[in-house]
Every structure is written in C-alpha cells, then in structure tokens.
Amino acid sequence: MTPRPRKDRDLSTYSARVSHALEQARKKRHWSVEDLQKAIKSAGGPEVPESTLYAYELGKANKGVDVPLNLLPAISKAFGYKSAAGWLPVE
C-alpha cells in the first residue's frame, strides 16, 4: 500500500513551525518515531507514546497537538543540543 501524500501544512503559527521543526530534526537524523521516543527517554524525559509524538509533529493547527514546553529540554538533549535554540525555529 502506498502512503497517502501529506497535504500542505498550515505553518502560519509559531507552534505549527515548532511541530514541523520537530519532524524535520528527526528526519534529518534518519530516525523513526520510535528512535526519537527512545532518545527522549534516554535524555531523561518521560516515556512519550509514538502516537503522541506523531501528534506533536502534526501540531494543533494540523489536527495534532502542540509540543508541551516541559518536553523541550529532553527533546533538545535527545537531538544533541544544549538548549531548544538548536532546533527551534527563530520566529
């Protein structure tokens, strides 16, 4: 079965751009969502279900949910950054 092509995302809000940046940072590393899940846990973060990570990557503007602020430090550490400034969009 061929996956459905993704519709263009609404990136008009900062939170939508954060969600998109999360997905792009994961894909840049050639990680699966499961790999990201394990990396967040190894970085001292909570265990986040894969379905929740998918929803974070979609973002609220695109029928997902926004990435919670308290998860940003663990995500940053999982990606190898000292702070979220390493992967978050500037504006």
Q: Minimal CA–CA distance to 38: which of 29, 27, 47?
A: 47
Q: Quick one: pLDDT band at residue 63, thresholds 50, 70, 90?
A: confident
CA nearest neighbour of 59 among 87, 18, 88: 18
pTM of the model: 0.87
Condensed to tens digits (0 to 9), the pLDDT of residues 20-62 reads 999 999 999 999 999 999 999 999 999 999 999 999 999 988 8
